[in-house]
Structure 1
Amino acid sequence: MQPSTTADRSPSVLVEGDAAFRAARVGLVTLSLASFGALTTEMLPVGLLPQIADSLGIAEEHAGLLVGVYALMVAVLAVPLTVLTRRLPRKPLLLATLFGYAVSNVLAATASGFAVLAIARGLGGIAHALFFSISIGYAARLAPPSHTGKAMALMSVGGSAGFVLGVPLGTVIGTAWGWRAAFAILTVGVLLIAAVAWRVLPEVTVPPVEQHRVRRDPRPLVIVILACGLAFLGHYTAYTYISSLLQSAGLRQDWIGPALLVFGVMGLIGLRIGAQHLDQRPLGSARLIPALLAIGLIVVAVGYPALAPVLIGVTLWTGSFGSIPSLFQALAVRAGVASADVAGAWINSTANLGIAGGSVVGGFVLSHAGIGWLPVVAATLLLAVGILALLAPTAFRGNGGPGAN
């Protein structure tokens, strides 16, 4: 395994990088807070699918498409919207995406039927298409190149907290007061986050247009985004329907929210452990983390429908996923093929293509093979990610440089 660059490993550069990273913490924490609102908005329906389906009189696999519609908008629009807005100031654009999330959640809370709810989710997907492309580039420019992985991990804490706190709390609120109340309360939360970002988030300089052109062999970035898409496809094939999976294994509905909270905490722990290795051991991380995800899903598949082994397997699976977003964000930026914004846009696009595809694949498996086959299909897709890292190690070493500035 090779270090990312020789310069990145020199003591003087590391000391200077540590100081610059500390100076960037306020901005990175603010981006992390914004990521919390973004990921909670995206994933809120996951814990509410049974309630939404019952309320609207539709099948759960159809309700699962609310996650897919959102993600599909991101997959299609992330790259073109990022390119079209590349000259605009970053901070106002980021604030506009947060306002877009708020509008989406208001429409969802007041939706009169499934069609209106799907439109509301589509609007949220448009905001999301820009948000993570901007925030990945934002984080890469705030932090020194030698700390790109740590910057992505710190920003990802907010997204993981969306799973840890946002989705479980939304599930608890939805169970107690109805799923519409969960969307309404989230609207207020997103607006508060936007106010904080407006006050404290530092502005960054938009790079020249020519920085967005490909500078070297694009194959490392292509391989990284392919692996990213496969990882999210595998994860969300099962995770989109995790509430249904847990209920069918015998977990009471009023325990779904607390269970998701525990799994989210495990994801934060996994992120904390993985963040220590993203800059120095990217290749090892790209091989080990998908393998751990697959092992957790295999435990679920073998143990189902017994509740205890299902809970153990889900804990390992969701805990291991905590580092996946920051892993691929850092690899894409450090490939040096494109600017941080464009690299982030590709990761944003392919990750959400995987999320959309996962909701469709999972729904198909649920309808035609049964819920017990969800973890089997998911584990197979995640094993393919590890195999890709074995076959194309150069793409996962992050040797191309940050390409961020």
Structure 2
Amino acid sequence: MQQPTTADRSPSVVADGDAAFRAARIGLVTLSLASFGALTTEMLPVGLLPQIADSLGIAEQHAGLLVGVYALMVAVLAVPLTILTRRLPRKPLLLATLFGYAISNALAATASGFAVLALARGLGGIAHALFFSISIGYAARLAPLSHTGKAMALMSVGGSAGFVLGVPLGTVIGTVWGWRAAFAILTAGVLAIAAVAWRVLPDVSVPPTEQRRVRRDPRPLIVVILACGLAFLGHYTAYTYISSMLQSAGLRQDWIGPVLLVFGVVGLIGLRIGAAHLDRRPLGSARMIPALLATGLLVVAAGYPALVPVLVGVTLWTGAFGSVPSLFQALAVRAGVASADVAGAWVNSSANVGIAGGSVVGGYVLSHAGIGWLPVVAAALLLAVGILALLAPAAFRGA
């Protein structure tokens, strides 16, 4: 039976949906924990770029490609791998991706040079190509359709915590004991998360009818994945090089980890605030969030290289970004164009096209225009997302 939309629900349906969501929380929290390991693995090099570059004797913009090669693997493989594995049991497949992260991090910790390190990141990207496609579909099946946004937000807490705790702590560990130690400790952490998921994560099945569920008009999903890609492209054009930006604005290297921790906490607060509106006001969220992101980046651009306005601008920017993944995950699933896994795969792919493109665009801007232009270019790309939400509102209202 098709579940009611958020626009047309009786009080009894709302109560049933709330009860079903509460019952799904154990599984969603477990997925959130797994997302913590996944996002920490993906983003760990962001806080370690200066150390990696110095250790391997390469330029920082070349070290930034470690983020890009990872994201490129996800962008290329997310949809085909999701389709190829759509009939496999979900839980074993999710656990396999976590073991893939562990292998990637272990290889990175022992890499003898940039080529091996890039290979390790590529292997992690393959695991990531499946992980978020599976986890988005997993969360969508655990929770009722009327609570899709809340389910994605709860699952995304772990990803945001990867920024709040994982990346900053990895940066601190890298500063004190070296960047290899950060990857080694993360390997152990991901294996521990896999053990927890194996023990407590409920299994789910993919209904055969869901595999055949296709809406005739694919335009809503196309618009959503385009907006998602633009949002991540804009964000990572600047965020990939945030450590270098903060250092060039006068922040000492040993303060980068703690400052990134603060920004991560602000992102979690932004996610908490935004989660309340993702189901009720998806269109308003799709317009307001990019505007806040662009505003924060423009404050950074206007204040650079003075440290205080840069910190103020980054606080607004990273706080607004907290809800971005949940927003596009929920919109893609509720568009009803494909199964939850395939919809998640398209979001996963488009986001990582943006991440990979952001590392390349940011590196180009860094080399040819200077670091002060990074937030300007990023803000322009994010404003395009808000314009898209103004021009095609139907795609952002959800099912």
Q: TM-score, normalised by structure 2?
A: 0.98
* Alignment-derived partner of residue 163 in structure 2: 163
* Alignment-derived partner of residue 346 in structure 1: 346
AA aligned opposite 2:154: L
AA aligned opposite 2:216: R
* Alignment-derived partner of residue 220 in structure 1: 220
AA aligned opposite 1:302: A
Whether the 8 Å contact between 1:216 and 1:336 is mirrored in structure 2 is: no
Instruction: Specify whether residues 206 and 58 from structure 1 end up closer, same or farther in structure 2 by C-alpha distance, changes over 3 A only.
Output: same
* Alignment-derived partner of residue 140 in structure 2: 140
Whether the 8 Å contact between 1:69 and 1:118 is mirrored in structure 2 is: yes
Q: CA shift at 1:343, angstroms?
A: 0.2
Instruction: Specify whether residues 113 and 212 from structure 1 end up closer, same or farther in structure 2 by C-alpha distance, changes over 3 A only.
Output: farther
Q: Secondary structure of the equivalent of 2:277?
A: coil
Residue correspondence of structure 1 range 67-216 to structure 2 within 5 A: 67-208=67-208, 211-212=211-212, 214-216=214-216
Whether the 8 Å contact between 2:6 and 2:146 is mirrored in structure 1 is: no
* Alignment-derived partner of residue 289 in structure 1: 289
The Cα offsets for residues 69-124 of structure 1, whole Å up to 9 and x where unpaired, read as 00000000000000000000000000000000000000000000000000000000
The Cα offsets for residues 320-362 of structure 1, whole Å up to 9 and x where unpaired, read as 0000000000000000100100000000000000000000000
Give me the whole-angstrom Cα distance separating, in 1, the residues matched to 2:164 and 2:109: 22
Q: Is residue 39 of structure 1 aligned with residue 39 of structure 2?
A: yes
Whether the 8 Å contact between 1:37 and 1:190 is mirrored in structure 2 is: yes
* Alignment-derived partner of residue 403 in structure 1: none
Q: Secondary structure of the equivalent of 1:357?
A: helix
Whether the 8 Å contact between 2:6 and 2:280 is mirrored in structure 1 is: no
Residue correspondence of structure 1 range 287-366 to structure 2 within 5 A: 287-366=287-366
* Alignment-derived partner of residue 402 in structure 1: none
The number of residues matched between the two structures is 396
Residue correspondence of structure 1 range 363-382 to structure 2 within 5 A: 363-382=363-382
Give me the whole-angstrom Cα distance separating, in 2, the residues matched to 1:383 and 1:80: 31
Give me the whole-angstrom Cα distance separating, in 2, the residues matched to 1:165 and 1:209: 40
Q: Is residue 396 of structure 1 aligned with residue 399 of structure 2?
A: no
AA aligned opposite 2:227: A
Whether the 8 Å contact between 1:173 and 1:181 is mirrored in structure 2 is: yes
Q: Secondary structure of the equivalent of 2:265?
A: helix
AA aligned opposite 1:320: A
AA aligned opposite 1:271: L
Give me the whole-angstrom Cα distance separating, in 1, the residues matched to 2:329 and 2:209: 21
Instruction: Specify whether residues 210 and 136 from structure 1 end up closer, same or farther in structure 2 by C-alpha distance, changes over 3 A only.
Output: closer
Give me the whole-angstrom Cα distance separating, in 2, the residues matched to 1:69 and 1:361: 14
Whether the 8 Å contact between 1:212 and 1:342 is mirrored in structure 2 is: no
Residue correspondence of structure 1 range 226-265 to structure 2 within 5 A: 226-265=226-265
AA aligned opposite 1:133: S
Q: CA shift at 1:212, angstroms?
A: 4.5
Give me the whole-angstrom Cα distance separating, in 1, the residues matched to 2:378 and 2:209: 40
Give me the whole-angstrom Cα distance separating, in 2, the residues matched to 1:119 and 1:92: 25
Whether the 8 Å contact between 2:139 and 2:151 is mirrored in structure 1 is: yes
The Cα offsets for residues 175-201 of structure 1, whole Å up to 9 and x where unpaired, read as 000000000000000000000000000
Give me the whole-angstrom Cα distance separating, in 1, the residues matched to 2:209 and 2:125: 26
Q: Secondary structure of the equivalent of 1:169?
A: helix
Give me the whole-angstrom Cα distance separating, in 1, the residues matched to 2:66 and 2:206: 34
Whether the 8 Å contact between 1:238 and 1:358 is mirrored in structure 2 is: yes
Give me the whole-angstrom Cα distance separating, in 1, the residues matched to 2:212 and 2:225: 17
AA aligned opposite 2:327: L
AA aligned opposite 1:321: F
AA aligned opposite 1:33: L
Whether the 8 Å contact between 1:234 and 1:381 is mirrored in structure 2 is: yes
Give me the whole-angstrom Cα distance separating, in 2, the residues matched to 1:367 and 1:213: 47
Where structure 2 has 5 or more consecutive residues not aligned to the other structure, the ranges are none
| % identity of equivalent residues | 90
Give me the whole-angstrom Cα distance separating, in 2, the residues matched to 1:212 and 1:186: 39
AA aligned opposite 1:129: A
Whether the 8 Å contact between 1:218 and 1:337 is mirrored in structure 2 is: yes
Report the RMSD for the aligned CA atoms in angstroms: 1.0
AA aligned opposite 1:20: A
Instruction: Specify whether residues 212 and 96 from structure 1 end up closer, same or farther in structure 2 by C-alpha distance, changes over 3 A only.
Output: farther
Whether the 8 Å contact between 1:329 and 1:344 is mirrored in structure 2 is: yes
